[in-house]
Amino acid sequence: MAAQSNSDNLAHLLHSVFGFAQFRANQEAVCRAAVAGRDLLLVMPTGAGKSLCYQLPALALGGTALVISPLIALMEDQYAKLAALNLRVARIHSGLDRSVSRQACVEYLRGDLDFLFIAPERLRVPGFPEMLAKRPPALIAIDEAHCISQWGHDFRPDYRMIGQYLPNLRNGATVPVLALTATATPAVQKDIVAQLAMTNPERFIHGFRRDNLAIEVVELPIPERPFAISKLLAKRVHRPAIVYATSRKQSEALAEQLSQLMPTAAYHAGLDSETRERVQRAFLSGRLEVVVATIAFGMGIDKPDIRTIIHAGLPGTLEGYYQEIGRAGRDGAPSRTFLMHSYADQRTHDFFLNRDYPPVENLHQVFRMLSESPRTIDDLRAASKLAEEEFDKALEKLEIHGGARVDYAGNVTIGTPVWTRTYSIQAQHRAEQFGKVLRFTESSDCRMCALVRHFGDEDDAKEPCGRCDGCDPAGSVLRMFRRASNGERSVAELILDDLRPVDHKGAGSLQRAIDPSGRISRDKFEGVLDALARARVIAIEDAQYEKDGEVKHYRKVSLSEMGRRMNSASQVDLLISDGIAEEFTTLTAIKGSRRAAKVPKAPAPRTRESSQPPTRVVSVPPLSPEAEALAVRLKQWRNDEAKKLRLPPYFVLLDRTLAAVAHARPANLSQLLEVDGIGPGKVEKFGPAILKICGAK
């Protein structure tokens, strides 16, 4: 009866406390499961109302909700919003005075709080979990739950240990655990549930479909992209826009070119904080129509009328790509996204993967140097055969995966050999993330369905979006399609005939079966295959198998229901992808079109040598006197922080990262995250302190 009463109270609280007349899509079912005492996993995009899904049930249940959140900025934002609703809320994190944290504990034990926010690291503080267990919370909400998973793109050890504390926190009571995230693939979802030992959890995977976005993916050489971007954005209907560049240099070059046509600016961590703030304010107010930025731009940007998102190169993950294109069309109006790619992008990503996940032999070299007897980092580095940056990266990975132990004085001892397994798994996962991006570019399926399915939302992936280049080839802007020739139709007939007696075939086997002599080029065969898929005559899905311990990927082809009903390929209009529309190529400008001449020409093609990714980390420019003074203050803080944490100074900030911070002088967490060497973990632990030293308000 109590659960029923709590559930009935949800609508009243929704209106009286939060001021909403009705639930958004999928919210009510989640809230009802929580007040019924069910553990649950909620995967819902940013902006879809995840926070309400733990806040409303917490109030309905009474008592105090314990919210575990990974970033101080997120914690402070939720704290401020709930306090503004006159709710009783407190938070405990490293950015607060101890007296504030002690008072929060007192209020928690007295039952005077509706919500208590904590960072995951607090659970490692001796006695803190026991204090919480004295008064079991009404519910436990774990925000950004993908951080729990070793498969998650923000893997964080303290989050992964949360599960071991939950039984004591519940202390025998029925306390629902809610894991919430905006980005978790099915593998990550499964790992979250396992790590938290959830009891028969309900899973809510909803809200990823955005039917007002038309997604277009086009293969385009790097030198051709600036011209195509200029032509796209020269049309007023495609602005405001964000162009995501792959480097600071590319960001500045594109911004300079576009600024000759429309109000445009670059945005990246190499710019001073005042310039970055000015760019952001100008874009939000409409004084700038286009921002050409590195990937950090857009975090926290809530501009509803962005009409176009252009990726001038391949993103590293589909999760990141989805979040970036999701910044378009938040007002619900039709909007377009363009993803440009070529083989050169793959080479660049391979370089960064090898840099961030060095060969396992590098780690073995360092591991073999370690023993139970401590050695300093400097001593090990000098004795190593690896270059300085190779050694630092290998030691960093060894420490993360338990192969090395580093104390507060910078002394290193040997860890456990289990690192070999976990490191290989993580490196393979990172490589596979980019592999999924590549397969997304090669797909002829509905783009939106492919993204929605990536997050495990099968219900919303059933119907094609009708807008993307896979669903509506004729409506594409950049890509050009033509009707199939007689020869291509003959190939299509052979494909359909070969598929009729079987359930499915691999694309490679299918090509060999219809063309044993090898006269049909692979490009031509794939073009016909994709045309049949776009016409919904065949279905193509990514599949895999294991051989000699290695996972192999292939395209599995089968006839659709429509295909099985057809007698001939002539019954359908086959459209073959034929590059990009002529108006977006530099060839048009060379022909002397006066209109095209007004658009800045693309830069000269780069040589083979210059198109290669960099072979080393770019050094920080010489520091100005003001930046030097800031670097001195940062070093003093770093040393004090390292002593408090009983960690070596390099664990807080490497020298080159410290210098990069001093040069960039970030004004907020988003800008700090753009600095080379600063990741989500560093932002969580040290972000507020660094920003305070940098003079951020």
Residue 349: C-alpha distances to residues 223, 339, 360, 362, 577 (Å): 18, 16, 18, 20, 26
- Domain presence at residue 60: yes
Give CA separation, 680 vs 71, 528, 685, in Å. 8, 44, 9
Task: Answer whether residue 73 shows pLDDT above 70.
Answer: yes
The predicted pLDDT at position 106 comes to: 96
- At position 674, the amino acid (one-letter code) is E
- From 369, 403, 429, the end of a domain falls on 429
| Confidence band, pLDDT 50/70/90 cuts, at residue 621 | low
Which tens digits make up the pLDDT trace of 100-126? 999 999 999 999 999 999 998 889 888
Give me the pLDDT at residue 601, please.
Answer: 38
453, part of any domain:
no
Q: Is the peptide bond before 358 cis (omega within 30 degrees of 0)?
A: no
Residues 266 and 292: beta-carbon distance below 8 Å: yes
What confidence category does residue 587 fall into, taking pLDDT thresholds of 50, 70 and 90?
low
The answer, yes or no, to whether residue 594 has pLDDT greater than 60, is no
Provide the edge-to-edge strand list for the sheet that holds 40-43: 89-92, 115-118, 65-68, 139-142, 177-181, 40-43, 202-205
Tokens, residue 190: 């499964």
221 and 199 in one domain? no
Task: Please indicate, yes or no, whether residues 413 and 515 belong to a single structural domain of this protein.
Answer: no
Question: What pLDDT band is residue 301 in, cutting at 50, 70 and 90?
Answer: low
pLDDT value of position 7: 61
| Tens-place pLDDT, residues 152-166 | 666 667 788 899 899
Tokens 């009903």 appear where?
565
Range of the domain at 485: 479-580
What distance in Å separates the CA atoms of residue 560 and residue 538, rounded to the nearest whole number? 5
Stretch 618-642: mean pLDDT: 82
- Identify whether 319 is part of a domain: yes
Looking at every residue in the chain, the average pLDDT score rounds to 86
Q: What distances in angstroms separate CA 370 from CA 390, 403, 694, one per listed residue?
A: 17, 9, 38
Task: Calculate mean pLDDT across residues 482-498.
Answer: 91
Residue 492 host element (H or E): helix 486-499
For 204-213, what is the mean pLDDT? Answer: 89
Rounded to 10 deg, the angle between the 318-325 and 447-454 helix axes is: 120
Residues 342 and 354 occupy one common structural domain: no
Task: List the CATH number of the domain containing 128.
Answer: 3.40.50.300
Confidence of residue 615 (pLDDT cuts 50, 70, 90): very low
Question: Residues, the chain, total?
Answer: 697
Q: Is 607 contained in some domain?
A: no
pLDDT value at position 596?
33
Q: What is the mean pLDDT of residues 330-347?
A: 92
What's the rounded mean pLDDT across residues 223-248? 94
Considering only residues 99 and 643, tell me which one the structure prediction assigns the higher pLDDT.
Answer: 99
Q: Do residues 273 and 194 both lie within one domain?
A: no
- CA 439 distance to own-chain centroid: 17
Beta-carbon contacts of residue 357 (< 8 Å; ≥ 6 apart): 397, 423, 426, 427, 430, 431
> Same structural domain for residues 322 and 354?
no
pLDDT band at 697 (very low <50, low <70, confident <90, very high): low
Strand partners, 569: none
Least confident range from 347-356, 595-604, 647-656: namely 595-604
User: What band does 599 get if pLDDT is binned at 50, 70 and 90?
Assistant: very low
pLDDT value of residue 91: 95
List strand residue ranges (DSSP E) for 212-314, in order.
213-219, 241-244, 264-267, 290-293, 308-311
User: What pLDDT score does 535 carry?
Assistant: 87
Q: Are residues 43 and 114 in the same domain?
A: yes
At residue 604 the predicted structure's pLDDT band, cuts being 50, 70 and 90, is: very low
Same domain for 329 and 354, yes or no, is no
With CA atoms as reference, report the closest residue to 75 among 111, 122, 36: 122
Nearest to 527 by CA among 502, 507, 547: 507
Helix (H), strand (E), coil (C) string for 521-555 = CHHHHHHHHHHHHHCCCEEEEEEEEEECCEEEEEE
> How far is 633 from 649, CA to CA, in rounded Å?
14
Give me Rg for the CA atoms of the chain.
27
Q: Which residue has the higher pLDDT, 276 or 369?
A: 369
E-state strands within 327-378: 335-341, 375-376
Residue 606 belongs to a domain:
no
The whole-number average pLDDT for the span 134-161 is: 83
Asked whether the predicted pLDDT for residue 67 surpasses 70, the reply is yes
* Alpha-carbon separation of residue 328 from 71, 209, 212, 299, 693 (angstroms): 25, 13, 9, 13, 35
CATH number at residue 633: 1.10.150.80
Q: Are residues 335 and 315 in the same domain?
A: yes
Q: Judging by beta carbons within 10 Å of its beta carbon (0-12, 13-18, 19+), is residue 373 exposed, middle or buried?
A: exposed
Q: Read off the tokens for 499.
A: 């598929």
55-64, 107-116, 351-360, 361-370: least confident range:
351-360
**Number of Cβ within a 10 Å radius of residue 320:** 16
State residue 679's pLDDT score. Answer: 65
- Asked if 157 and 269 sit in the same domain, the reply is no
| Per-residue pLDDT reduced to its tens digit, 380-389 | 999 999 999 8
Q: Is 650 inside a domain boundary?
A: yes
More confident residue, 307 or 75: 307
The residue from 286, 315, 346 where one domain ends is 346
Nearest Cα to Cα of residue 538 among 577, 579, 510: 510
Specify the residue for token string 């303290």: 158
**Digit-coded pLDDT (tens) for 20-39:** 989 988 899 999 999 999 99
Q: What per-residue string of b and e applies to 46-78 under the rule 16 or more CB within 10 Å gives b?
A: bebbbbbbbbbbbbbbebbbbbbbbbbbbbbeb
Cα 425-427-433 angle, rounded to 5 deg = 100
Clarify whether residues 149 and 14 are in a common domain.
yes
Count helices and strands in the chain by DSSP H and E runs:
31, 21
pLDDT, residue 33, reads 95
Q: Report the pLDDT value the prediction gives residue 609, as an integer from 0 to 100.
A: 33
Distance, CA of 364 to CA of 288 (rounded, Å): 51
- Asked whether the predicted pLDDT for residue 598 surpasses 80, the reply is no
Q: How many distinct structural domains can be found in the chain?
A: 5
pLDDT for residue 623 is more than 70: yes
Query: How much is the pLDDT for 297?
Result: 66
Is residue 493 assigned to a domain?
yes
- Let me know whether 381 and 494 are in one domain: no
The confidence band for 309, taking pLDDT boundaries of 50, 70 and 90, is very high
More confident residue, 150 or 102: 102
If pLDDT is split at 50, 70 and 90, which confidence band does 401 have? confident
Q: Given pLDDT bands bounded at 50, 70 and 90, which one contains residue 589?
A: very low
Residue 145 has what DSSP assignment?
G
Cα separation, 569 vs 151, whole angstroms: 43
Per-residue model confidence (pLDDT) at position 149: 83
In tens, the pLDDT along 406-449 reads: 887 789 999 999 899 888 888 888 888 899 999 999 888 899 99
Is position 469 within any domain? Answer: no
Residue listed under structure tokens 């961030």 = 356
* Res. 595 pLDDT band, cuts 50 70 90: very low
Q: Per mean pLDDT, which range of 57-61, 433-437, 591-595 is the poorest?
A: 591-595
What tokens were used for 89? 């809320």
Residues 415, 398 contacting (CB under 8 angstroms) = yes
Mean pLDDT of 586-603: 40
Domain termination site, one of 525, 556, 580? 580
Residues 121 and 53 placed together within one structural domain of the fold: yes
Percentages (nearest 5) of helix, strand, coil residues in the chain: 50, 15, 35
Share of the chain above pLDDT 90, in %: 48
Token code pair at residue 544: 């895999």
Q: In which band, very low, low, confident or very high, does the pLDDT at 545 lie, cut at 50, 70 and 90?
A: confident
Q: Cα-flanking dihedrals φ and ψ of residue 7, to 5°? A: -65, -40
CATH number of residue 530's parent domain: 1.10.10.10
Cα 596 to the center of its chain, rounded Å? 36
Query: Which pLDDT score is estimated for 340?
Result: 96
Least confident stretch, 141-155, 301-315, 429-443, 454-468: 141-155
